[in-house]
Amino acid sequence: MAESAACPAFQLGRPRYDQGSFLGRLRHFIDIIDPSTLFVSEKQLKECIKLLDDYKHGSLPPGVSDLQLWEAQKIKQAIIHPDTGEKIFMPFRMSGYVPFGTPIVIGLLLPNQTVVSTIIWQVLIVSKLAVSIAVGLNVLIQKANKLSPATRMIIQRFVPFPAVASANICNVGLMRHNELSEGIDVLDNNGKVVGSSKIAARHAIMETAFTRVVLPMPIFVLPPIIMSYLERLRFLQRNRRLLLPIHSIVCLITFGLSLPVAISLFPQMSQIEVSRLEPEVAMATDCKVVTYNKGL
């Protein structure tokens, strides 16, 4: 009884949690980035796929609960590419984003960065634009003779954020510039495509770009603030070798929390009033509100 109250009825291919609320989206993405799915064995994966196939064909064994079905779908979606049906390489899975990305974040936030180390870490995480911005800011900071060494070090730790945020915005624009000229599909209440809208495309790209700015904000802002405080503690001043492990833990926690929060800001399937769209799209439907996929 308790399980049925906490676990909704299983729906194949649908999210387990309500995507109309921020909390529902947050729980959904926490599920998606769950790193435990990286350790699922081949045998477990095959069992999950078979369970979902049995459900689809109406031949589900007796006693299988909704919770088991949701877990099976979570595992399959985390590992198997929806288009190719092949296993996704671990570092490229959503569940691998935090564990495989944390070492790079730690490298970016290490104090006393040189120009060479800045280039190496920025190349590993983003584009040429981020490298240019980061290197330029680092050079300016090094030439700022009026700043004290402590102040210079604190400011230097914030360099990755504007670099990564700027590159993320540009990457979204470059990757999706065709949508601005061609538009994206908008759907009515029944999921039927009613037209292609450039206005909806602009909204989708702005929402995605905003998410990409918010995502690195806590990652590159909070650890420097926290570490600048912790490094003043007598215990850590006497045990300097503990700084890197503690820094790593702070980065891991911040990274793990900021990712689901950022991608939960907007619904995956966003809505827009038909009156705000192009006249030809508005004339193609009787709905007052249509839906579009904002992308990631």
Give the span between the Cα atoms of 52 and 85, in whole angstroms. Answer: 14
Last residue of a domain, one of 88, 103, 136: 88
Between the alpha carbon of residue 4 and those of residues 16, 163, 178, the distances in Å are 13, 47, 45
As given in the structure block, the two tokens for residue 262 are: 């950022």
100 and 78 within one domain: no
187 and 128 within one domain: yes
Q: What is the dihedral of CA 227, 233, 234, 235, to 10 degrees?
A: -70
275 and 157 within one domain: yes
127 and 74 within one domain: no
Residue-level pLDDT at 73? 94
Does 17 map to a domain? Answer: no
Last residue of a domain, one of 88, 109, 130: 88
Does 8 map to a domain? Answer: no
Q: What is the dihedral of CA 17, 19, 24, 29, to 10 degrees?
A: 80
Residue-level pLDDT at 20? 85
As given in the structure block, the two tokens for residue 184 are: 């994206």
pTM over 0.85: no
141 and 106 within one domain: yes
134 and 52 within one domain: no
128 and 198 within one domain: yes
195 and 65 within one domain: no
Mean pLDDT per 10-residue run, the chain (296 residues)?
65 89 90 91 94 92 91 92 84 84 68 56 51 49 56 62 73 82 88 89 90 80 83 85 84 84 86 89 86 82
Does 10 map to a domain? Answer: no
Does 247 map to a domain? Answer: yes
193 and 66 within one domain: no
Does 6 map to a domain? Answer: no
Does 2 map to a domain? Answer: no
Does 16 map to a domain? Answer: no
100 and 177 within one domain: yes
Looking at the 3D structure of the chain, how many domains does it have? 2
> Which of 285, 288, 265 has the alpha carbon at shortest distance from 276?
288
72 and 103 within one domain: no
Does 248 map to a domain? Answer: yes
Q: Which domain does 47 fall in, by range?
A: 22-88
> Which of 279, 271, 76 has the alpha carbon at shortest distance from 187?
271
106 and 62 within one domain: no
Residue-level pLDDT at 65? 92
> Mapped to the 3 state alphabet, what secondary structure does the chain carry?
CHHHHHCCCCCCCCCCCCCCCHHHHHHHHHHHCCHHHHHCCHHHHHHHHHHHHHHHCCCCCCCCCHHHHHHHHHHHHHHECCCCCCECCHHHCHHHHHHHHHHHHHHHHCCCCCHHHHHHHHHHHCCHHHHHHHHHHHHHHHHCCCCCHHHHHHHHHCCHHHHHHHHHHHHHHHHCHHHHHHCEEEECCCCCEEEEEHHHHHHHHHHHHHHHHHCHHHHHHHHHHHHHHHCCCHHHHHCHHHHHHHHHHHHHHHHHHHHHHHHCCCCCEEEEEHHHCCHHHHCCCCCCEEEEECCC
Last residue of a domain, one of 41, 59, 88: 88
